[in-house]
Structure 1
Amino acid sequence: MRWSRNSSDAASAASSGRLPSLVWLIPLAAALICAALAYQSVSRRGPAITIRFLNAEGLEAGKAAVKYRDVEIGTVEAITLASDRSHVVAEVRLTEDARRFAVKGTRFWVVRPRVDAGGISGLGTVLSGAYIGVDAGHSRETETHFTGLETPSAVRRDDDGARYVLHGDSLGSVDIGSPVYYRRVQVGRVSGVMLDKNGTGVSLDVFVDQQYQQYVGTNTRWWQASGLDLRLDANGLTLNTQSLAAVMLGGIAFQTPPGESIGTAAPDGAAFPLAQDEAAAMRHADGPAAPVVMKFTQSLRGLTVGAPVDFRGIQLGEVTRIGVEFDPKTREFTLPVALNLYPERLGRRYLESVQHSDTNAGKALLLKLVASGLRGQLRTGNLLTNQLYIALDMFPKAPPARVDLNVQPIELPTVPNTLEELQVQIADIAKKLDQVPFEQLGHNLNEALQNADRLLRQLDTQLTPQARDTLASAEKTFSAANAVLQQDSPMQADMHEALTQLTQTLRSLNALADYLEQHPESLVWGKAKSGQ
């Protein structure tokens, strides 16, 4: 029994000695698992980057994600305000798989509900909250500090297509994200807008999808498709527009002129001029412009920069500047108007005659045309708006004028328009009328009327009674004559009988005359007896 008790005590002691070692293994295993998870988490963390934004609207630290094509590749860990309070800095931790996004050229922007030229975007963030969108760069040089875009990128670097640069005078209603049309089919979008360095125009970056890139060639013409193109011509009223989106938000359109080929394919990055409308884009190439000045003396109200200059309905140029000059010698004002004329619009034969002649042929032709009456004249182009344009035409009866070809720009002579001539004539008539002594004429006329009144009164008092007696005598005479001339009066019967006798006498005289003509000897011997 003692042996068995000792044996059980030993077994109990042995078991009590192993129990503490098993208890301590559990926390040790848990610590090892946590360390493994922490190592795995740390090893999977990507690089830390900072992104600079003007404001942090919609972003929340610890919740806002960084997404590329709706796949989460990082998290916003903190948002701080810059020391100068001009911007905010978002501290972002990317995942290990997104390490390749931390390179130069990568672009970031905040995705939030937005209405712009591209339409309505970011509606999904109303419930999920704003996040940071990414467009991956292609550089291999790492970068950790970025400046975010204020508007989303309209074109991603991974999109397939070609980019072109358009140069125009103004932006119009076009903006980043505006559509690009080819034959009223949307084939691309505007990806960037920039003001030229010299400030004389704008440059637009447009992107055309790869499947439509084949329609862009060296002969392609580009124009702004914003707004409505309303025309009233011989064909009636015509309304042209690309789409409702283009009318509301603006857009760009391109096409090749009718009858021309597209030409060789335009390379990526090719530059094109941007016209204000389709008519200007499809107009035949004008060649170099010839600057000209015309000086007017009448009012230029209604004439604006860009107003057409035409020759018998053919537009040869446009107005580029309107000014005013004062001549101290004559103390008169003149209104110089600068024009750009395009001689190539005068036709193929004109160009051939100039090109096949000597270099002074164009100047000699200009002098000849001016000597024949070539002049500029202001005319009304629209009676409703009173808009003016400049017409070049031949005026054979215009006063002689000289042109100095050694002065640039050349000054072409002008003539007043018909309305101005009419106004001058009316002014001359008014001036002559002012010289007429209407007051003296009125005084003389008043005296003449008074004299006539006195004369009439004298006639009424002195001559009227005598005139009445004379009229009464004349009336009696006319009554007597009427009585004599009546058909049943005795006078009429006596006159009828006398006329009858007179007729018989005339017949006897005619017979006697005939007999004497045949027998003149009867005047001496008498009438021969019958039978002798």
Structure 2
Amino acid sequence: MKTDQQVDADVKQVRGISAIWFVPIVALLIGGWMVYYHWSNQGPVVTLFFESAEGMEAGKTKIKSRHVNIGEVESITLNDAGDGVTVTARLAKNSEKMLVEDSNFWIVTPKISLSGVSGLDTLISGVYIEIAPGKSDEPMDEFTALDSAPITPIGTPGLHITLNSDEEFAYSKGDPIIYKGLTVGQIEDVYFNIDERVVYYNAFIKSPYHELVTSNTRFWDVSGLTVDLNAEGISVKTGNVETMLTNGVTFDVPDGMPLGDKITERDYFDIFNDYQSASNARYKHSLQYVVFVSDSIRGLNVGAPVEYRGVLIGQVASVNLATADPNVMYNEAIRIPVLISLHPGRVGLPDNEQGINLMNEQNMHWVKSGLRASLKTGNLLTGSLFVELQHYDMPAIDHIETYEGYAVIPTVKDEFSQIAGKLGQFVDKLNQLPLDEIAGNANGTLVNASVLLKDLQGTNQSLDKLLISADQQELIRELRLTLENVSLLTQDFSEGSEGYEELEEAMKSISDVMYELKPLLEQLKHQPNGLIFDSGTKNYEPKKHSGANQ
């Protein structure tokens, strides 16, 4: 007998998926969408190579362009060689076009230099990496970063040029290029060619000033403050305030030259020491002569002017030509050869072989007829000398001397040498005088003069006494004449004299006249109107006005 009633379960198969599974599925889909969205919107990864990672931190250091964040550093590691660091950074999606072959990256830090202060904002935000997009169409994702910001951003309108110099002045990146005091460009890069021993400077001149650079443009140094002491005097030159603290270059077309053709692409230019050197560079052809100097050439320097009647026609090329015979080096008769260089272009002749031939033919003709050279003092303060060519009235010569293959222009002494010679002759004649005998005679003459002066002093005293005596006698004589005149006058008016009687009669006549006028004077005293009104008429008084007492 069954005690427990068994009931069979009714099992039914469930068809479909439970609704609870929709939650993880939806979450999975959303997560996948987010991953895809993040992946699809990620920018490119760029690899940068720096010498040092100073100031940079992974996850913090930003990458900027024009102060706008476009990426962030993800990792910083040492490179395989250990001489630098490799920085991996992620950029924004829209920055792919910036990663081209000629793009530049550099680290921005605070810097203080003579040209100014930069990167001060990094004191608060920290250092960051700046990118300057290039103009190339070739994509690239690995770059070697620059040590500092480029002097000229890519795409800046202007002209790139290369300057070269083998002189003893040097420039650094960022040094200015000046035009009439304005900073119009900068030195971008410096390269020294060891084989040529020449320094090359890549420079950039901004628009619109790059249009000033032509085929006849010359560049010269204006570094610091230049004080030039030469035959023309003292001159002080500088580019502007900036070049007084740093080095600098300026440029222009020298006076008298045509402007030339404009330069439209990179070209090479020399840097000269100064404007004069740059201006002289236009003369490509020159003619050399030797002048012999018998006096000192101290103050005559290479580059000193050579003038013809005040017109600059050349310059001194050398003052150290070797003498023909070194055994007579210290002989007082030795003549010092000075090499001068004359430029046909300075006198209007063609600057070519034809001009050289014409100038030489004319000079040789003049030398035979009296053309001579002499040293002149250009500046008394500095003692600088120059060579002057001038015509002198001298006998004509048939043969022209040569020295080391150069024609010799005869010389005459300069004015100071002539003065010194005449002064020496005067001193020689003065030394030949019998000074002892002259001194003895002069001493005797002085003794005689002393005796004569004593005699003159005694004579002077006697003369004073005589003059005093003469003055006293003249005074006494005048007093005597005056007293005599007074005596005669008193005699004329004494009693019994004719003058006395006439005076007495005149006084009597005056007394009679006064007696007769006495009644009239009495009447005028008591009755002033008696001369106008009748003496019997009453005196009338004006009546008072009737309203006066009202």
Partner of 1:499: none
- Report the residue type matching 2:47 in the other structure: A
| C-alpha distance in structure 1 between counterparts of 2:336 and 2:77, whole Å | 62
Larger radius of gyration between Structure 1 and Structure 2:
2
2:45 matches 1:49: no
Q: SS of the residue aligned with 2:327?
A: coil
The verdict on how the C-alpha distance between 1:32 and 1:107 changes in structure 2, with shifts beyond 3 A counting, is closer
2:87 matches 1:91: yes
| C-alpha distance in structure 1 between counterparts of 2:395 and 2:346, whole Å | 25
Please give the residue correspondences for 1:213-228 in structure 2 after superposition, counting only pairs within 5 Å.
Answer: 213-218=210-215, 220=217, 222-224=219-221
Deviation sequence 1:194-246 (CA, Å, 0-9, x none): 456775765544433344444444455555555568999xxx99988664334
Partner of 2:348: 347
How many angstroms does 1:336 deviate by? 4.9
How many angstroms does 1:158 deviate by? 1.3
Partner of 2:458: none
Please give the residue correspondences for 1:142-157 in structure 2 after superposition, counting only pairs within 5 Å.
Answer: 146-157=143-154
2:66 matches 1:69: yes
How many angstroms does 1:97 deviate by? 4.6
Please give the residue correspondences for 1:77-476 in structure 2 after superposition, counting only pairs within 5 Å.
Answer: 77-78=75-76, 80=78, 83=81, 88-95=84-91, 97-99=94-96, 102-116=99-113, 118-141=115-138, 146-167=143-164, 170=167, 175-182=172-179, 184-195=181-192, 203-218=200-215, 220=217, 222-224=219-221, 243-255=240-252, 262=259, 264-272=261-269, 274=271, 276-277=273-274, 285-294=282-291, 296=293, 298-323=295-320, 325=322, 327-332=325-330, 336-347=337-348, 355=354, 360-396=357-393, 403=400, 407-408=404-405, 412-423=409-420
Verify the 8 A CA contact 1:224 1:274 in the aligned structure 2.
yes
| C-alpha distance in structure 1 between counterparts of 2:336 and 2:392, whole Å | 21
The verdict on how the C-alpha distance between 1:199 and 1:375 changes in structure 2, with shifts beyond 3 A counting, is farther
| C-alpha distance in structure 2 between counterparts of 1:337 and 1:73, whole Å | 70
The verdict on how the C-alpha distance between 1:261 and 1:387 changes in structure 2, with shifts beyond 3 A counting, is closer
Verify the 8 A CA contact 1:66 1:131 in the aligned structure 2.
yes
The verdict on how the C-alpha distance between 1:424 and 1:152 changes in structure 2, with shifts beyond 3 A counting, is farther
How many angstroms does 1:154 deviate by? 1.6
How many angstroms does 1:142 deviate by? 5.6
Q: SS of the residue aligned with 2:120?
A: coil
Q: SS of the residue aligned with 2:124?
A: helix
| C-alpha distance in structure 2 between counterparts of 1:73 and 1:409, whole Å | 73
Verify the 8 A CA contact 1:49 1:102 in the aligned structure 2.
no
Verify the 8 A CA contact 1:370 1:401 in the aligned structure 2.
no
Verify the 8 A CA contact 2:135 2:155 in the aligned structure 1.
no
- Report the residue type matching 1:47 in the other structure: V
How many angstroms does 1:159 deviate by? 1.1
How many pairs does the alignment contain?
422
| C-alpha distance in structure 2 between counterparts of 1:368 and 1:437, whole Å | 48
| C-alpha distance in structure 1 between counterparts of 2:398 and 2:118, whole Å | 66
How many angstroms does 1:313 deviate by? 2.7
| C-alpha distance in structure 2 between counterparts of 1:308 and 1:146, whole Å | 56
How many angstroms does 1:149 deviate by? 3.7
The verdict on how the C-alpha distance between 1:416 and 1:180 changes in structure 2, with shifts beyond 3 A counting, is same
| C-alpha distance in structure 2 between counterparts of 1:83 and 1:409, whole Å | 64
How many angstroms does 1:164 deviate by? 3.4
| C-alpha distance in structure 2 between counterparts of 1:395 and 1:223, whole Å | 40
Deviation sequence 1:131-168 (CA, Å, 0-9, x none): 33344444455666655444432212211223334455
- Report the residue type matching 1:93 in the other structure: A
Verify the 8 A CA contact 2:44 2:90 in the aligned structure 1.
yes
Deviation sequence 1:502-524 (CA, Å, 0-9, x none): xxxxxxxxxxxxxxxxxxxxxxx
Verify the 8 A CA contact 1:61 1:79 in the aligned structure 2.
no
Verify the 8 A CA contact 1:217 1:266 in the aligned structure 2.
yes
| C-alpha distance in structure 2 between counterparts of 1:334 and 1:90, whole Å | 72
How many angstroms does 1:297 deviate by? 5.3
Verify the 8 A CA contact 1:295 1:413 in the aligned structure 2.
yes
How many angstroms does 1:103 deviate by? 4.7
The share of aligned pairs that are identical, in percent, is 26
Q: SS of the residue aligned with 1:316?
A: strand
Verify the 8 A CA contact 2:53 2:76 in the aligned structure 1.
no
How many angstroms does 1:315 deviate by? 2.5
The verdict on how the C-alpha distance between 1:61 and 1:433 changes in structure 2, with shifts beyond 3 A counting, is farther
The verdict on how the C-alpha distance between 1:113 and 1:339 changes in structure 2, with shifts beyond 3 A counting, is farther
How many angstroms does 1:269 deviate by? 1.9
Verify the 8 A CA contact 2:162 2:200 in the aligned structure 1.
yes
Q: Give the TM-score taking structure 1 as reference length.
A: 0.59
Moved more, 87-96 or 404-413: 404-413
Q: Give the TM-score taking structure 2 as reference length.
A: 0.58
Q: SS of the residue aligned with 1:365?
A: helix
| C-alpha distance in structure 2 between counterparts of 1:282 and 1:245, whole Å | 24
Verify the 8 A CA contact 2:226 2:237 in the aligned structure 1.
yes
| C-alpha distance in structure 2 between counterparts of 1:379 and 1:396, whole Å | 19
The verdict on how the C-alpha distance between 1:418 and 1:361 changes in structure 2, with shifts beyond 3 A counting, is same
- Report the residue type matching 2:46 in the other structure: P
Q: SS of the residue aligned with 1:44?
A: strand
How many angstroms does 1:305 deviate by? 3.6
| C-alpha distance in structure 2 between counterparts of 1:114 and 1:293, whole Å | 57
| C-alpha distance in structure 1 between counterparts of 2:53 and 2:304, whole Å | 49
| C-alpha distance in structure 1 between counterparts of 2:138 and 2:144, whole Å | 16
Q: SS of the residue aligned with 1:393?
A: strand
| C-alpha distance in structure 2 between counterparts of 1:334 and 1:133, whole Å | 69
Deviation sequence 1:12-70 (CA, Å, 0-9, x none): xx9xx9798688669857864775477457x534232324x3x5555455544443333
Verify the 8 A CA contact 1:117 1:177 in the aligned structure 2.
no
Verify the 8 A CA contact 2:371 2:392 in the aligned structure 1.
yes
Q: SS of the residue aligned with 2:47?
A: strand
- Report the residue type matching 2:310 in the other structure: G
Verify the 8 A CA contact 1:106 1:137 in the aligned structure 2.
yes
| C-alpha distance in structure 1 between counterparts of 2:378 and 2:403, whole Å | 33
The verdict on how the C-alpha distance between 1:121 and 1:399 changes in structure 2, with shifts beyond 3 A counting, is farther
Q: Which runs of 5+ in 2 are unaligned?
A: 1-7, 445-550
RMSD value over aligned CA atoms?
Answer: 5.3
- Report the residue type matching 2:152 in the other structure: V
Verify the 8 A CA contact 1:154 1:191 in the aligned structure 2.
yes
